[in-house]
């Protein structure tokens, strides 16, 4: 009897991603930089092209056929995103240019108008710069105080320390769901429950979770959540803010201009209903439509299926990396099934700079990220200058991991020999 091996998820979807089928420096591309940005399937690329080729027009402002079609597609994408994260209402989804803008929207609209001297904002040492710098601005302007949750010995969020930081002075908790460097998955539902006991609001940076696992804002019970389209198979220049309806209704507009108004007089203006009061000017129409297509694509595959397959890849990646004695990996270890962390590994190699590793791996067609990954405070906390990071997605394969590991070993051997000769 002949057994046919079941096709992996990657086998089923790789043909959807034209960029993956090329050579870099004469070698087949192995793209392991998915935490920085994901690749785009033809389904999404075609949606973007169709908009510009077939019904390019501004939204909301015209009664002609092309404008109506563009408006329907743009607002249809909002409905898709709302369902994707299980928002109660489509009005709770605000399109932004990226997650950074979404965080700044909350910082300036809510933070500047609600925080007072002595109020406390709790962040963590693992936050992306986008979830630190806006709150530094707010603290400097309002007199609020920033507090930072530290790490456990396993390099995960120290929940006990978080609980110690919470007090009646805590007005906001803003934390990452999945660390783009440590790969740890923070217990956001528990964090929201603990923070809400003190009356604090909670913002979740879900850039590294929404593309890789089911995310339910009602189950998490966060007050705001942000994500970027380009990390979830959509285009650059589009992201979204989820916010509880009553909070968004109470927040003043962030940008002023066309589209976000109800009426404009010479001496005052009134504002449009949600979510449009936060979407001033001509939006990223094509990009928003493509985001809706990306949501359709991911939903058709199934986020549970994506998460399970990426867990298998994670287990295999760590199994192979841990065989290389010169490597130190940061963040928690996955279990045997690959669960317990995201599908990425940030690591260092003794006496070899991460940029040098990345440069030589590139000559073998392997694309990884090197540097501080917009987490300089975390790298200082860990007392390291930079890390190399391999990050996976559902279109990656075990065979690609093997190519990466082989190239990594050869790169380390090269530098070891180089240093040995010195």
CA pair distance 361, 346, nearest whole angstrom: 15
381-400: burial string, b at 16+ Cβ within 10 Å, e else? bbeeebbbbbbbbbbbbeeb
Non-local (6+) Cβ contacts of 412 within 8 A are: 324, 326, 327, 349, 352, 357
Phi-psi domain of 221 (left: phi exceeds 0; alpha: psi -120 through 50; beta: other): left
Catalytic residue (choose from 192, 207, 233, 374)? 374
The CA-atom distances, in angstroms, between 162 and each of 22, 97, 147, 202 are 46, 31, 9, 13
Question: Which tokens is 188 given?
Answer: 């956001």
Q: What is the dihedral of CA 181, 184, 189, 193, to 10 degrees?
A: -80
- Give the tokens for residue 55: 């019904």
Helix, strand, coil: what percent of the chain each, to 5? 45, 20, 40
The rounded radius of gyration (Å) of the Cα atoms in the chain is 23
Q: Give CA 64 to chain center in angstroms.
A: 37
**For residue 320, how far is the Cα from the chain centroid?**
26
Nearest in space to 307 (alpha carbons), one of 265, 343, 260: 343
CA distance 101 to 241: 9
What are the DSSP calls for 267-329, one per residue?
S-EEEPPTTGGG--SS--HHHHHHHHHHHHHHHHH-HHHHHHHHHHHHHHHHHHHTT-TTEEE
Name every residue whose Cβ is closer than 8 Å to that of residue 5 and which is 6 or more positions away in sequence.
none
Kindly give, in sequence order, each residue whose CB lies less than 8 Å from that of residue 167, ignoring residues fewer than 6 positions away.
Answer: 120, 198
374 is catalytic: yes
Are residues 347 and 388 in contact, defined by beta-carbon separation less than 8 angstroms? yes
Structure tokens at 228: 């970027």
Q: What single-letter DSSP state applies at residue 333?
A: P
Looking at the annotation, which residues are catalytic?
A: 374
């Amino acid at each position: 009897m002949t057994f046919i091996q079941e096709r992996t998820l990657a086998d089923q979807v790789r043909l959807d991603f034209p960029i993956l089928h090329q050579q870099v420096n004469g070698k087949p591309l192995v793209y392991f930089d998915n935490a920085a940005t994901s690749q785009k399937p033809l389904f999404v690329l075609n949606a973007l092209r169709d908009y510009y080729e077939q019904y390019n027009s501004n939204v909301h402002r015209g009664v002609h056929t092309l404008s109506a079609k563009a408006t329907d597609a743009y607002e249809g994408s909002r409905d898709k995103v709302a369902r994707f994260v299980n928002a109660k209402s489509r009005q709770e989804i605000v399109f932004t240019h990226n997650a950074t803008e979404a965080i700044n929207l909350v910082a300036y609209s809510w933070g500047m108008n609600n925080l007072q001297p002595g109020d406390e904002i709790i962040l963590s040492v693992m936050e992306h710069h986008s979830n630190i710098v806006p709150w530094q601005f707010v603290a400097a302007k309002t007199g609020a105080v920033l507090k930072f949750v530290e790490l456990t010995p396993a390099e995960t969020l120290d929940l006990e320390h978080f609980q110690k930081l919470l007090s009646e002075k805590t007005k906001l908790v803003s934390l990452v769901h999945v660390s783009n460097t440590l790969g740890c998955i923070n217990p956001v539902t528990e964090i929201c429950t603990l923070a809400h006991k003190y009356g604090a609001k909670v913002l979740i940076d879900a850039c590294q979770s929404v593309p890789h696992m089911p995310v339910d804002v009602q189950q998490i019970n966060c007050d705001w959540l942000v994500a970027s389209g380009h990390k979830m198979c959509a285009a650059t220049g589009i992201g979204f803010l989820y916010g509880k309806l009553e909070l968004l209704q109470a927040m003043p507009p962030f940008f002023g201009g066309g589209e976000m108004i109800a009426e404009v007089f010479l001496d005052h203006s009134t504002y449009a209903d949600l979510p449009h009061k936060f979407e001033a000017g001509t939006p990223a129409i094509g990009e928003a439509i493509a985001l809706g297509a990306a949501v359709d694509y991911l939903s058709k595959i199934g986020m549970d299926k994506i998460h399970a397959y990426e867990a298998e890849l994670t287990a295999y990646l760590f199994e192979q990396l841990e065989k290389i004695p010169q490597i130190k990996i940061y963040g928690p270890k996955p279990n045997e099934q690959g669960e317990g962390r995201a599908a990425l590994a940030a690591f260092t190699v003794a006496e070899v700079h991460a940029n040098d590793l990345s440069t030589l791996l590139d000559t073998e067609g392997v694309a990884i990220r090197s540097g501080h990954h917009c987490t300089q405070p975390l790298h200082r906390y860990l007392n390291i200058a930079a890390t190399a990071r391999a990050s996976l997605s559902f279109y990656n394969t075990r065979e690609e991991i093997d190519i990466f590991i082989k190239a990594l070993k050869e790169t380390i051997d090269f530098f070891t020999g180089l240093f040995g000769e010195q």
